[in-house]
Amino acid sequence: MAHALRITMASSIESRENEFYSTPYIMTKKLLDKISFNKNVSILEPCCGSLAIVDILKKYNYQNITYFDLFPQHEKIKKRNFFSYKEKHDIIITNPPFSKAYPFLTHSLNLAEIVVFLMPLDYLHGIQRYKGIYSKNLLDKVLIFVQRIILNESPAETVTFGNAMSLAWFIFNRNSIDKETILEFIYIEKEEY
Ligand SMILES: C[S@@+](CC[C@H](N)C(=O)[O-])C[C@H]1O[C@@H](n2cnc3c(N)ncnc32)[C@H](O)[C@@H]1O
């Protein structure tokens, strides 16, 4: 029993170091209920973890999805470092490791026209982000989760509310430079969880 506990704790610490947190399914469903794309667009999920976002993209019938992770959670997932990946896609959708969100974002904007990231709402401020991204009007929409949702390693089917950071889907579009940023709210009803 003690041995099992040690293994669980070790793998948990390893996951935390890799910043593995799975995205509750409801969060991706809410995104795809608000914005939809042509079902044949090429979508990249460049740090797919245990496929929480990919599973929902497939459920919504997106046909052309590429995915990998530097620290895959299953042996069937391709191991790959996003920063050495150079292929272009129409859209990138992910929940990036937050400590690397800025390099993830700038690299993503080089590879895709539309980039959709789940990130803390706090990401809206900061000089580097302002100069590199916001002052160039690349932020098209922010979909803010009204409730604070806890991201952890629990199965993506579950959603837990609590005293966590506020999260939002940030939708960047290289072609939206003449438009104002749109702000919308996402409320999760009781019967949805
Ligand atoms: C917050 S988790 C998100 C997992 C998944 N996208 C989801 O929504 O459930 C961040 C993931 O980024 C992966 N990661 C960290 N650095 C990476 C890199 N340079 N290239 C690819 N994946 C990376 C981690 O292994 C982890 O699975």
Tell whether 103 is covered by a domain: yes
Tell whether 97 is covered by a domain: yes
Tell whether 106 is covered by a domain: yes
Tell me the C-alpha distance between 51 and 43, whole Å.
Answer: 13
Tell whether 13 is covered by a domain: no
Tell whether 2 is covered by a domain: no
Tell me the C-alpha distance between 113 and 190, whole Å.
Answer: 35
Closest residue CA from atom 25 of ligand 1: 71
Confidence at residue 177, expressed as pLDDT on a 0 to 100 scale: 75
Residues 6+ apart with CB under 8 A from 44: 65, 66, 67, 87, 89, 91, 92, 93, 111, 112
Best CA proximity match to 106, nearest among 140, 83, 137, 81: 83
Give residue 128 CA to ligand 1 midpoint distance, Å. Answer: 22
What is the atom index within ligand 1 of the atom nearest the CA of 98? 1
Total domains present in the chain: 1
**What is the pTM for the complete model shown?**
0.92
Amino acid making up residue 168: A
CATH code for the domain in which residue 66 is found: 3.40.50.150
| Domain containing residue 23 | 19-192
Confidence at residue 153, expressed as pLDDT on a 0 to 100 scale: 77
Tell whether 11 is covered by a domain: no
Tell whether 85 is covered by a domain: yes
Ligand 1 test: best mutation among 27, 47, 165, most atoms within 8 Å of CB? 47
Given a contact cutoff of 8 angstroms between Cβ atoms, the answer to whether 168 and 142 are in contact is: yes
Tell me the C-alpha distance between 157 and 85, whole Å.
Answer: 30
Give residue 104 CA to ligand 1 midpoint distance, Å. Answer: 10
Confidence at residue 17, expressed as pLDDT on a 0 to 100 scale: 63
What is the torsional sign of CA 99, 69, 139, 163?
Answer: negative
Each residue's pLDDT tens digit, 65-118: 999 999 999 999 999 999 999 999 999 999 999 999 999 999 999 999 999 999
Tell whether 3 is covered by a domain: no
**Which residues of the chain fall below pLDDT 70?**
1-17
Output the CA–CA distances (angstroms, integers) from residue 26 to 41, 70, 102, 188, in the order listed.
22, 25, 25, 8
